[in-house]
Structure 1
């Protein structure tokens, strides 16, 4: 059995490290959107980065403010789910395609909008950090679904946590402890049911 070539091993480790950092950047963006965490979303872009959602084009630093306003106007809760992800790295530049499923719960808690599309990204490594230089979003499928089960007594009596669009969300609690108070729950009796 021959020893691995040190140079090839270093290249493999560099590639794997780059892939993880790139996927972390894309996940950080999605999490920041769902929590309305402007700093987290902005940290995913280079200062001169751009974001295209349909005919709306924002600079990276301006994107979070625009997205938070749009999401708050049309929904009470939303989740961005990154699924299939591919990435081609060439030195300090990467071209990525990330499938995304976005679900927005209507302000009435009775309907949900389901959107499936893709993020087409060019990321660049600058000063050792991978960030988005250009993002273009597609929409492939969209439909409205019945979400009225969220208002049912059978569901609400279970007391599930409800995410908040703020730094008060339980995911920011460090360390997370079993007795950490929940900022919001879906139930209507005995706990809060904040309209995130």
Structure 2
């Protein structure tokens, strides 16, 4: 194998790794935006003409964040979207990804948490060098609810409590032990 062939293969492998990282960052940023109620971050992972199908609701990517925040705020006190298994097939400037998602959503009143498992089925595209979601379809595979009143028992007293906005400690730069004030349980 010639040095030119080796260099070409190396470039192709590096490009593949860069593409995979950018696609996974896109999926993860959408989940982070969900849990911080950061509509700008959620919208940033979709193209202007991108579409999100969540059950019977179909929204363009840019309008999805505000809709999702309102829907979540109407029912839940807090929630976490956890991306687990992630597969991705890249074909030039188009990719298809499947990302498993497990959501934990504490219902208003704080006594019940619902757990839900599903998948995000994404078609992503690279336009002008940037990977974003062109189409997302969401599945629901299972759901269960349980008692979460232990949170009021003092078992987590002193732990940081997340916020649904940019005052959440995850936005603090630099992150310091004695930095910005935080909410606690």
**Shorter-normalised TM range:** over 0.9
Correspondence for 1:5: 6
User: Shift of the alpha carbon at 1:184?
Assistant: 1.2
Say yes or no: does 1:52 pair with 2:53.
Answer: yes
User: Shift of the alpha carbon at 1:106?
Assistant: 1.2
Correspondence for 2:32: 31
User: Shift of the alpha carbon at 1:153?
Assistant: 2.5
Is residue 123–residue 136 contact of structure 2 (8 Å, CA) maintained in 1?
Answer: yes
Correspondence for 1:40: 41
User: Shift of the alpha carbon at 1:109?
Assistant: 1.2
User: Shift of the alpha carbon at 1:171?
Assistant: 0.4
Correspondence for 1:192: none
Is residue 106–residue 114 contact of structure 2 (8 Å, CA) maintained in 1?
Answer: yes
Secondary structure class of the residue paired with 2:16 = helix
- Say what the alpha-carbon RMSD is for the aligned residues: 1.4
Gaps of at least 5 residues in structure 2 are: none
Aligned length: 184
Gaps of at least 5 residues in structure 1 are: 187-196
| CA distance in structure 1 between the aligned counterparts of 2:135 and 2:19, rounded to whole angstroms | 18
Is residue 172–residue 180 contact of structure 2 (8 Å, CA) maintained in 1?
Answer: no
| CA distance in structure 1 between the aligned counterparts of 2:180 and 2:126, rounded to whole angstroms | 39
Correspondence for 1:170: 169
Correspondence for 1:185: 184
Correspondence for 1:134: 135
TM-score using structure 1 length: 0.91
